[in-house]
Amino acid sequence: MVYLAALAILLVSAFWRLDPLSFSVVHRLGLTNFQILWRESVYRKIAVRTVGISAGVTITDVLLAFPLAYYAARLAGSRLKAAILLSVTLPLWSSYLVRIYAWRLILDRQGLVNWTLHKLHLASVDISFTNWAIWIAFTYLWLPFVFFPIYASLERIPGSFLEASSDMGAKWPMTLRRVILPLALPGIVAGSIFSFSLTLGDYITPTTVGNTQFIGNVVYNNVLGVASNQPFGAAFALVPVAVMAIYLLAARRVGAFEAL
Amino acid sequence: MRGKRSILAALSAAALVGAACGGGGGGGGSGGPKVLQSIGPGEGQLNLVAWIGYTEDGSTDPKSDWVHPFEQQTGCKVNVKYGDTSDAMVNLMRQGGGTSYDGVSASGDATDRLIAHGDVAPINVNLIDGWKGFLPTLQSPPHNTKNGVHYGVSYMYGANILMYNKDKVSPAPSSWSVIFDSSSPYAGKGMAYGGAIYIADAALYLKTHRPELGITNPYELTQPQLNAAIDLLKQQKPLIKKYWTSATDEINLFTSGDAVVGAAWPYQVSILTTQKPPVPVDGIIPSEGATGWADTWMMSSHAQHPNCMYKWMQWASTPAVQAQVAEFYGATPSNTQSCAIIEKDLGADAAAPYHCGDDSFVKQLYLWRTPLADCGNGKNDCIDYSIWEQKFTEVIGG
């Protein structure tokens, strides 16, 4: 109830505006904020960057998590399986901030990556504080959240299905495409909801390991930080809300919520 | 504040009304706003918003501690929230209707906004003993005194300097061009300040390097001048490894070697050269000059612990504390009686860069202040700060 009320105020305040002289909020409905959002190309750029990196992170996480989850769910012995599950959950025991700062140290000029490359007599890479660094950090952060739904959906597939598929002459790629993937799809979509929405709403990682702004940074600056234009922040915050609404509706169509 | 008195007069008149309604405190003065007439017993607590390095309690360096002695003397337990930018500080002071924090170390770009909005209370400077020893320019400067009414007491001032790693940057730079010129050999290893007020640094650079733009004051920019500054910042972007908003961020990048040159405060130089292992940095004021800040302790008009805040302002203005802060931070103190202490502690040579008690030094800096539309030419054609912020988002987010 409290949450819904807060959301409603967010929705309404997006249509208010800030008086430029007194810096106080004018409680009159209007489209000023949305006009600025539409007119200034920088906000479109930030929105596209945020959604783009969210999508990139999600795809990478699914590509990494699926083979690992498949191995853990169907091929590994019980001890190996336990080891995999433990190693995936282990990072969750430490604070989110600790993990971000760890990546900052790993990627910086004299960090682990460049140290290793140097020892191997390879050229050093300079990706600290770039969008690549953001992509890597996010992919790492959300991997467990993508892994588990996929793991659960793969484990649920009865072995007899795969045997039936092969008995009827289907080769492994055909079984993967026609049997496993359709049955695992709800799990994949459920996991992707986590990685996509978590990236979409994050504002700490982009400025800590990167040097750019996400939607969340602009919102933060407007609500708590630099610009103190709360109505404008609310208006921009509706963009990820809308993106997620569309995403969730699409996910429901493929039955992702049954896998949760 | 050079000749834009009309709007400020209007703003401060509005502030007076607000402050007079909201101000607590003792008996009334003679017609002016109500201010405290004497400092009562402390309330046991004091909540401050401060720049990092301004309220050291010995946790950075055991020798630099001017918070614990204050607590022992007054019984006011000090809680500090660091503000990264002036904008963040203004916001924090408005939290909880102004009751969350008792006071703030505000720079000149925040003081005007706090006064105009009625966030801060008039101060009776007669209760602040150290005030009489202040540099005349900083006793009643336009950024904290309106129509003879004081809204705070000056603290430290200094320049936004160019910091560089002496091992990695040679020859030593003498111009801001090392972080503005696209041919700089240190591309990708520079740092710039991540607040909209940094536009003034770009404008100051253009004042020298593109005189045809006619920039006279980096806080009074017309649309074409602002556009030129924004273009310069966009062109600067590839040179910048990271925009910093917290001083700690810049210290980290200079320590890791990701950055070797950047806009900085004296605080960063102080930490980097004394940490273990130290980083060999130096800070200079380049040939184009520098922007700067003159900070003021201000009291919230809804302060919950006004007596403790007065006690703090009094404490912070004493020559001994001012000298201690200045030596730790690398800033220049307002109280000229602290100059002798600094010279005694550091020796004449090391004390020289402080320009302590030197009125011409503070006058040569372009001190941070809030850009307004009215810049005194009667045409109202300057660009105000809300546009600066929007434009700066284009630089950082673009």
Same domain assignment for residues B82 and B178? no
Residues of A in contact with B253 (CB under 8 A): 108
User: Cβ of A22: how many Cβ atoms within 10 Å?
Assistant: 14
Under 8 Å between Cβ of A209 and A134: yes
Kindly list the residues from chain A whose CB atom is less than 8 angstroms away from the CB atom of residue B398. 42, 45
Q: Which residue has the tokens 């500080």?
A: B89
Tell whether B396 lies on the interface with A, counting CB pairs under 8 A: yes
> Do A226 and B87 count as a contact with CB atoms less than 8 A apart?
yes
Both B306 and B391 in one domain: the answer is no
Query: Can you read off the two tokens belonging to residue A89?
Result: 């959950």
pLDDT of residue B17: 40
Q: For residue B113, which residues of chain A lie inside 8 Å, CB to CB?
A: 23
| Judgement on whether residues B204 and B280 belong to the same structural domain of the protein | yes
Binned at pLDDT 50, 70 and 90, residue A257 comes out as confident
Q: Of chain A residues 125-144, which have a CB less than 8 A from chain B?
A: 126, 128-129
> Would you write out chain B's pLDDT as a tens digit for each of its 398 residues?
343 334 444 444 444 443 333 333 333 334 456 788 889 999 999 999 999 999 999 998 898 999 999 999 999 999 999 998 888 899 899 888 889 999 999 999 899 889 988 999 999 999 999 999 999 999 999 999 999 999 999 999 999 999 999 999 999 999 999 999 999 999 999 999 998 999 999 999 999 999 999 999 999 999 999 999 999 999 999 999 999 988 999 999 999 999 999 999 999 998 999 888 999 999 999 999 999 999 999 999 999 999 999 999 999 999 999 999 999 998 999 999 999 999 999 888 888 888 999 988 888 899 998 888 888 777 788 998 888 988 998 899 88
Question: Structural domain boundaries of chain A?
Answer: 43-217+243-259
Angle, vertex CA A51, rays to CA A48 and CA A52, nearest 5 = 75
> Any idea what the CATH number is for the domain that residue B252 is in?
3.40.190.10
Cβ contacts (< 8 Å) between A134 and chain B: which residues? none
Comparing CA positions, the residue from B112, B136, B72, B182 lying closest to residue B368 is: B112
Is the Cβ pair B396, A213 closer than 8 Å? yes
Contact residues on chain B for A109, CB-CB shorter than 8 A: 256-258
CATH C-level class of A43-217+243-259: mainly alpha
CA distances to A65, A119, A191, B365 from A144, in Å: 8, 31, 9, 53
Place of tokens 């980097």: B272
By residue range, what is the domain housing residue B375? Answer: 161-289+370-397
Residues B133, B175: one domain? no
Please tell me whether residues B278 and B384 are part of one structural domain.
Answer: yes
What would the mean pLDDT of A194-205 be, rounded to a whole number?
94
Residue of B289, B328, B339, B9 lying closest to B148 (CA atoms): B9
Cβ neighbors of A241 (< 8 A, separation 6 or more) are none
Rounded to an integer, what distance in angstroms lies between the CA atom of residue A225 and that of residue B84?
9
Q: Is B20 on the interface with A (CB under 8 A)?
A: no
Cβ-based neighbours of A8, under 8 Å, separated by 6 or more: none
How far apart, in whole angstroms, are the C-alpha atoms of residue A70 and residue A183? 12
- Enumerate the residues of chain B whose CB falls inside 8 A of the CB of residue A221: 393
Task: In whole angstroms, give the CA distance from residue B267 to residue B109.
Answer: 19
Judgement on whether residues B55 and B80 belong to the same structural domain of the protein: yes
Q: Is A225 within 8 Å of B87 when comparing Cβ atoms?
A: yes
Contact A211 B242 (CB under 8 A): yes
Please indicate, yes or no, if residue B363 is contained in any of the structural domains.
no
> Cβ separation of B396 and A218 shorter than 8 Å?
no
Quick one: tokens of B250? 């810049």
Q: Where are the alpha helices (DSSP H) in chain B?
A: 5-22, 68-74, 86-94, 108-116, 136-139, 177-180, 199-209, 223-236, 247-256, 266-274, 306-316, 319-329, 339-346, 348-351, 359-364, 385-397
Asked if the model's pLDDT at residue A128 lies above 50, the reply is: yes
Domain contains B362: no
| B270 and B185, same domain (yes or no) | yes
Q: A128 to chain B, minimum CA–CA distance in Å? A: 8
Q: What sign results for the dihedral spanned by CA atoms A55, A58, A63, A66?
A: negative
- How many domains are contained in chain B? 2
pLDDT score, position B19:
39
Q: Cis ω on the peptide bond leading into residue B171 (within 30° of 0)?
A: yes
From B92, which residue of chain A is nearest by alpha-carbon distance? A224
Min Cα separation A114/chain B (Å): 12
pLDDT at A134: 96
Question: What does R_g of chain B's alpha carbons equal in angstroms?
Answer: 21
Tell me, yes or no, whether B250 and B128 share the same domain.
Answer: no
- By C-alpha distance, the chain A residue nearest B371 is A21
- List the single residue in A23, A46, A229 with the smallest CB-CB distance to B117: A23
Q: Would you say how long chain B is, in residues?
A: 398
How many Cα neighbours within 13 Å face the side chain of B338? 27
B113 and B75 in a common domain: yes
State the Cα–Cα distance between residues A81 and A86, nearest whole angstrom. Answer: 9
Same domain, B303 and B274: no
Q: Which residue has the tokens 């020892």?
A: A119
Which residue does chain A place closest to B386, by CA atoms?
A: A20
| A40-49, A173-182, A247-256, B37-46: the lowest-pLDDT one | A247-256
A207 touches A220 (CB < 8 A): no
Q: Is residue B199, in this structure, part of any structural domain at all?
A: yes
CA distance B50 to B247: 13
Q: Do the Cβ atoms of B393 and A23 come within 8 Å?
A: no
In this complex, is the C-beta atom of A232 within 8 Å of any C-beta atom belonging to chain B?
Answer: no
Q: Which of B295, B290, B296 is nearest to B366 (CA)?
A: B290
User: What φ, ψ does residue B104 adopt, rounded to 5°?
Assistant: -150, 145
List all residues 6 or more positions away from A121 whose beta carbon is below 8 Å from its beta carbon: none
User: Measured between CB atoms, does A217 come within 8 Å of chain B?
Assistant: yes
Mean pLDDT (chain A, rounded) = 89
Would you call A192 an interface residue with chain B, using a CB distance cutoff of 8 Å? Answer: no
Q: Is B85 on the interface with A (CB under 8 A)?
A: yes
Which of B191, B256, B380 best probes binding to A when mutated, by most A CB atoms within 10 angstroms?
Answer: B256
Q: How far is residue B14's CA from residue B110's CA, in Å, rounded to a whole number?
A: 17
**Does a structural domain hold residue B386?**
yes
- The residue of B11, B92, B242 whose CB has the most chain A CBs within 10 angstroms, and thus the best one to mutate to test that interface, is B242
- A 56-85 residues with CB below 8 A of B? none
pLDDT of residue B20: 39
**Whether residues B9 and B130 fall in one domain:** yes
Residue of A nearest to B260 (CA): A109
| Cβ atoms of A50 and A240 closer than 8 Å | yes
Tell me if chain A has a CB within 8 Å of the CB of B313: no
Q: Work out the minimum CA distance from A91 to partner chain B, whole angstroms.
A: 24
Asked if B108 and B37 sit in the same domain, the reply is yes
DSSP letters, A150-216, are: HHHHHHTS-HHHHHHHHHTT--HHHHIIIIIHHHHHHHHHHHHHHHHHHHHH--SHHHHTSSS--HH
